[in-house]
Amino acid sequence: MASASNNGAVGMPQLDFSTFPNQIFWLIIFCVILFAIVKLFIIPRMEDIFANRRKIIDGNVAKAEEIRLRVGEIEKQIEEELRKAKAQCDDIMSTSGNNIKEQMSIALEDSKIATSQLIEEAEERLKTLRDGSETAIEKISEDLAAEIINKLSRGK
Amino acid sequence: MAKESAFNIHPMDQFIIEPILMGENLEWYSFTNQALWMLISLASISFVFIYGSRKHQLVPGRLQSVAELMYFFIRDMIIDIAGQEGLRYFPYIFTLFILILFGNVLGLLPYSFTYTSHIAVTGFLALSVFISVTLIGFLRNGFGFLSLFWISSAPLALRPILLIIEVISYFVRPVSHSIRLAGNMMAGHAVIKVFAGFAGALGLGAIAPIFAITAVYGLEMLVVVIQAYVFTILTCVYLNDALHPGH
Amino acid sequence: MVDGNLVEMGKLIGAGLACTGMGGAAIGVGHVVGNFLSGALRNPSAASGQTATMFIGIAFAEALGIFSFLVALLLMYAM
C-alpha cells in the first residue's frame, strides 16, 4: 500500500484484503489486552466502589434503625414519666382538696360557734333590753295612767 | 476515479492503513497507524477507568463518575435485555462497548484514524459475537436452540415460511451488525472530508462548507455514541436469543 | 470521466440509484422515532422503559439503508 499512500486511495481502503491479516492481528492483541484490563482492573475496582457504597448505605440504614429503636425507647420513658407525674399531680390535688375541705369544715364549725355565741349574746341583750323596756313601759304607762286620771279628775 | 477529480478531494485517504515505525512494506505484523490508534484508545481507557477512579471515591469526581456511568449503564442494559444470567457475559460485552466507543470518539479528532471504520475490524467483532452467541445457544439449550427458528406462536401453515425468513435473518445478523458500524463511521468521516475539500477549494470565502462541517460534526458526535450503543444493545439482544430461545 | 468509459458511467449511475435506498431507510427511521414520540407523549411514564426498544428498531430500519449504501460503495470502488 506504499504506492497508494503516495497517490491517494485507489478505491476503498476498507476492501483492500491485503491489509486484513495485519488488522486482525493487531485487533486480537488489542482485544486481549483490553479484556485483561477490564477483567483485572476495571471490574474489581468498580465492584469495590459499588460494594463500599452499598456497605456505607447499609450501615447508615442500620444506624437509622438503631436510632429509631432508641427514639421509641425514649418515647416510652417519657410516657412513663408523664404518667407518674400525672399520678403525683392527682395525688397532690386530692390531698390538697381534702385539706381544704377539712380546713373549711373547721372554719365553718368555728364560725358556727362564733355566730351562735353572738346570737346568744344578742338574744340575751335583747332580753335584758326587753325586760328593761317592759319595766320602763310599765312605768310610763303607770305614769300615763296617773296623769290621765289626774287630768280627767281635774277636768271634772 | 478519485485521483482524476477536479477538486482534488480524497475522502477515502483517511482510511488508508500504512505501516509506521517498521519499514515500508505492510506485513501481517507491522505496526500501522491503526495499531497506533488502538494503543491510544487503550491508553485513554486506562486513563478514564484506572487513573480516573484511582481514589475509590465514595462521592465520585468527574472522571470517576464518567467511568461509573458507562459501567452501570452497560450492566443495567444487560440485566434489562438478557436477564440476570446475561451478567455472566458482562466482561465481554463491556470490553466490546468501550472498544467501539473509544474507537469511534477518538476517530472524531482531526488527523486521527478510526479503526472502527474498517470492515475487517467490525467484521471480526461481529463474527466473534455471532459465533460465540451461537455456541452459547447450543451449549445451554442443546437442540432446543433451534426452536428460535420454529415459531410456535404462529399458525402452522406459516411456520415453514417463517423458518426460512428466520434462518436468513439469523445469518444476515453478522453482516448487518458489522456493516452498520463500519458504514456509519466511514460515511460520517467521508462526508466531513468532502465538505473540508469544498472549504479548501473555496479558500477564504468558505463559510457555508465550514458551517456544514460544524453541523455534520455535531451530528457525528451523536451518531458515534449511538452506534456504539446500538452495537452493544444488539449483542445483548442476540445473547438473549441464545439464553431464552423459546420466546 | 471524459474518456467516455461506458462501464464507469454505468457504475456511477448504478451507485446513484442504489443510494435512493437510503431514503427509504430515512423514512423508516423517521417513522419509528415519530411513532415512539407520539406514544411517549401520550404516556410519558412508560416512555423511558422503551427507549432501548426504539433504538433496536432504529438499528433494524437503518441496516437496510446501510446495505444500499454498501452496494453504492461497492459499485463505485470495488468492482
pLDDT digits 0-9 by tens, A100-116: 999 999 999 998 898 89
Q: Do C67 and B179 touch (CB under 8 A)?
A: yes
The nearest CA of chain B is from the CA of A45 a distance in Å of 8
User: With contacts defined as CB-CB under 8 Å, which chain C residues touch B176?
Assistant: 63, 66-67
**B71 pairs with which residues across the strands?**
none
Question: Does residue A143 form part of some domain?
Answer: no
**pLDDT at residue number A136:** 82
Helix A20-37 crosses helix B33-46 at what angle (to 10 degrees)? 10
Domains in chain B: how many in total?
A: 1
Of B4, B226, B237, the CB nearest to C1: B4
The nearest CA of chain C is from the CA of B180 a distance in Å of 6
The nearest CA of chain A is from the CA of B154 a distance in Å of 41
User: With contacts defined as CB-CB under 8 Å, which chain B residues touch A24?
Assistant: 120-121, 124
Domains in chain C: how many in total?
A: 1
pLDDT digits (tens, 9 = 90+) for B216-232: 999 899 889 999 999 99
CATH of the domain at C38: 1.20.20.10
Question: Is any Cβ of chain B less than 8 angstroms from the Cβ of A113?
Answer: no
Return the number of other C-beta atoms located less than 10 Å from residue A84's C-beta.
10
How many contacts, defined by CB atoms under 8 Å, are there between B and C? 37
Question: Does residue B120 form part of some domain?
Answer: yes
Interface of B with A in 54-113 (CB under 8 A): 56-58, 60, 64, 67-68, 71, 90-92, 94-95, 98-99
Question: Is any Cβ of chain A less than 8 angstroms from the Cβ of C73?
Answer: yes
The nearest CA of chain A is from the CA of B43 a distance in Å of 10
Question: Is any Cβ of chain A less than 8 angstroms from the Cβ of C77?
Answer: yes
* Percentage of the residues of chain B whose pLDDT score is greater than 70: 96
Question: Does residue A39 form part of some domain?
Answer: yes
Domains in chain A: how many in total?
A: 1
**pLDDT at residue number A2:** 35
Return the number of other C-beta atoms located less than 10 Å from residue A5's C-beta.
17
Q: How far apart are CA A3 and CA A9, in angstroms?
A: 9
Question: Does residue B41 form part of some domain?
Answer: yes
Domain range for A55: 23-137
User: With contacts defined as CB-CB under 8 Å, which chain C residues touch A12?
Assistant: 73, 77-78
Mean pLDDT across chain A: 86
Q: Are the C-beta atoms of residues B37 and B115 closer than 8 Å to each other? A: yes
Of B42, B68, B120, the CB nearest to A34: B42
Record the pTM. 0.75
Q: Which residue has the higher pLDDT, B144 or B122?
A: B122
Question: Does residue B81 form part of some domain?
Answer: yes
The nearest CA of chain A is from the CA of B195 a distance in Å of 18
Q: What is the ipTM of this complex?
A: 0.87
**pLDDT at residue number B4:** 46
Q: Do C67 and B77 touch (CB under 8 A)?
A: no
The nearest CA of chain B is from the CA of C59 a distance in Å of 7
Q: What is the DSSP letter of B5?
A: -
Domain range for B122: 14-19+30-243
Q: Do B71 and A42 touch (CB under 8 A)?
A: yes
Question: Does residue C74 form part of some domain?
Answer: yes
Confidence of residue A9 (pLDDT cuts 50, 70, 90): low
| pLDDT tops 70 at residue B153 | yes
Q: Do B183 and C1 touch (CB under 8 A)?
A: no
What would the grid cell of residue C77 be? 470502488
Touching subunits of B (3+ CB pairs, under 8 Å) are A, C
| Average pLDDT value for residue range B143-165 | 86
**B19 pairs with which residues across the strands?**
B32
Mean pLDDT across chain B: 87
**pLDDT at residue number B5:** 46
Nearest-CA residue of chain A relative to C78? A11
Question: Does residue B209 form part of some domain?
Answer: yes
Question: Does residue A68 form part of some domain?
Answer: yes
Integer angstrom CA distances of residue B19 from A1, A21, A126: 9, 13, 149
Q: How far apart are CA C79 and CA C76, in angstroms?
A: 7
Of A7, A46, A56, the CB nearest to B3: A7
**pLDDT at residue number A68:** 93
Confidence of residue B2 (pLDDT cuts 50, 70, 90): very low
**B199 pairs with which residues across the strands?**
none
In the 3-class helix/strand/coil scheme, how is chain A assigned residue by residue? CHHHHHHCCCCCHHHCHHHHHHHHHHHHHHHHHHHHHHHHHHHHHHHHHHHHHHHHHHHHHHHHHHHHHHHHHHHHHHHHHHHHHHHHHHHHHHHHHHHHHHHHHHHHHHHHHHHHHHHHHHHHHHHHHHHHHHHHHHHHHHHHHHHHHHHHHHHC
User: With contacts defined as CB-CB under 8 Å, which chain C residues touch B81?
Assistant: 52
pLDDT digits (tens, 9 = 90+) for B33-91: 899 999 999 999 999 988 888 877 777 888 888 998 999 999 999 998 888 988 999 99
Q: How far apart are CA A38 and CA B185, in angstroms?
A: 25
Q: Are the C-beta atoms of residues B163 and B211 closer than 8 Å to each other? A: no
Q: Do B234 and C52 touch (CB under 8 A)?
A: no
Question: Does residue C28 form part of some domain?
Answer: yes
Domain range for C68: 6-78
Return the number of other C-beta atoms located less than 10 Å from residue C48's C-beta.
9
